[in-house]
Homo-oligomer: A and B are copies of this chain.
């Protein structure tokens, strides 16, 4: 098995580690840009790598629908298909069934839903979720989980956890691919007892990595930070811990301080497409008129292609002129910003100064709001 995880340094609950995968080594904590449909939106794989990303995420639900995992497999797997030879993590589709599919019926056997593309009726079982991800050939696959939205009634949350556990077992049993590892997902919302039960049962199955699901929508930064510390502790210390779909820069800091090793989020690319850039002095809305004649880069000191070559005035112009290069250049910077934040975090952990880093960054980010 080409997969392993080692912890190099700790600072409080935070860990600086190294994850070995069949497609290379990833330093953790790591941010994974989202390549939903086999592309990080607006960026070439070369631009994604130049921005500092080492591992990207692909979405099982989207890729199974289009182009189809059989097509991706026939084209040599997801790495070759999308031209990314670094590690790839694929999610299981559980989250998308709730967030995207317009009608659904979930039983212990399967999730039945309508495609958001053509309305056709589809079925996802744990076995099928694993088979799709084996076809895609990601380095890290995820168990199919049931991920009800924020605010779901506690009674139903218990049902979802029971089903998530049942499905995790079936995923584990059906998973065959030796050059791919399967991570489990802990659900349970903000009910710590439920999370603890879910984590205990999943730990007994000894997965090579564990994720926290259900934190990505609806919660405030404070709610999330408070819930994360006790929840992350439920996961085995020697395995990578992945917080799914989170989040803002301040959330990443909170997650790492709670002991999280991996994060993914669409924010850098989504905000980039919408003319919003993350910088160490807070968010920059590049359409604002104040940037019309601003010769400064988005973020001074940033070494990304966008900041080295272009002024705010130019980026402002691109968005007003509806040039697609604007979304590309802001997405590129935002991915670089997230990756640089994680690199700074890793260095701070190694030096035992993560608390100082958090304090300084939060002060700067908040001061600019």
Let me know if A83 is at the binding interface, CB within 8 A: yes
Chain B residues whose C-beta falls within 8 Å of the C-beta of A45 in the assembled complex: 309
A42 is an interface residue with CB less than 8 A from chain B: yes
Q: Say which residue of B76, B293, B321 sits within 8 Å of A37 (CB atoms).
A: B321
> Across the two chains, which residue of chain B brings its CB closest to A40?
B325
CB proximity of A38 to chain B, nearest CB, Å: 7
- Chain B residues, CB < 8 A from A318: 37-39
CB pair B38 A317 closer than 8 Å: yes
A44 B311 Cβ-Cβ under 8 A: no
CB closest chain-B residue, reference A65 = B321
| In contact, B314 and A81 (Cβ under 8 angstroms) | yes
Q: Do B41 and A310 touch across chains, with their CB atoms under 8 A apart?
A: no
Which residues of the partner chain B approach A309 to less than 8 Å between Cβ atoms? 45, 83
For A310, list chain B residues within 8 Å (CB).
83
- Kindly state whether residue A226 has any CB partner on chain B within 8 Å: no
Query: Given A320-B66, A324-B324, are A38 and B75 neighbors across the interface (CB < 8 Å)?
Result: no
Q: Tell me if A305 counts as interface (CB < 8 A to partner B).
A: yes
- Pick from B75, B324, B327: contact of A295, CB below 8 A: B75
The copy count of this chain in the complex is 2
Decide yes or no whether A25 CB sits under 8 A from chain B: no
For this complex, into which size category does the number of interface residues on chain A fall? 35 or more
- State in angstroms the CA–CA spacing of A323 and B63 once bound together: 13
- Whether A292 is near chain B, meaning CB under 8 Å from some CB there, is yes
Chosen A-B contacts, 30 in total, with CB atoms closer than 8 Å, are A37-B317, A37-B321, A37-B323, A38-B314, A38-B317, A38-B321, A39-B318, A41-B325, A42-B324, A42-B328, A43-B325, A44-B328, A46-B305, A62-B321, A66-B317, A66-B320, A66-B321, A67-B292, A67-B321, A71-B292, A71-B317, A74-B295, A74-B313, A75-B293, A75-B313, A76-B295, A81-B311, A81-B313, A83-B309, A83-B310
Could you tell me if B324 and A41 are in contact, using CB atoms closer than 8 angstroms? yes
A56 at the B interface (CB under 8 A): no
Is A185 engaged at the interface, CB distance under 8 Å to the other chain? Answer: no
Which residues of A does B touch, CB under 8 Å? Answer: 37-39, 41-46, 62, 66-67, 71, 74-76, 81-83, 292-293, 295, 305, 309-311, 313-314, 316-318, 320-321, 323-325, 327-329
Query: In the complex, given contacts A74-B313, A75-B295, A83-B310, what are 16 additional A-B residue pairs having Cβ atoms less than 8 angstroms apart?
Result: A37-B321, A38-B314, A41-B324, A41-B325, A44-B305, A44-B329, A46-B305, A67-B292, A67-B316, A67-B321, A71-B317, A74-B293, A74-B295, A75-B293, A81-B314, A324-B328
Would you call B41 and A314 a contact (CB within 8 A)? no
A292→B71 CA distance, assembly (Å): 8
How far does the Cβ of A313 sit from chain B's closest Cβ, in whole Å? 5
Q: How many whole Å from A117's CB to the nearest CB in chain B?
A: 9
Contact A323 B76 (CB under 8 A): no
- List the 8 shortest-distance A-B pairs measured between CB atoms, nearest first: A83-B309, A67-B317, A37-B321, A39-B325, A39-B323, A75-B313, A42-B324, A81-B314
What CA separation (Å) do A317 and B66 show in the bound complex? Answer: 7
With most chain B CB atoms within 10 A of its CB, the pick from A74, A76, A323 is A323
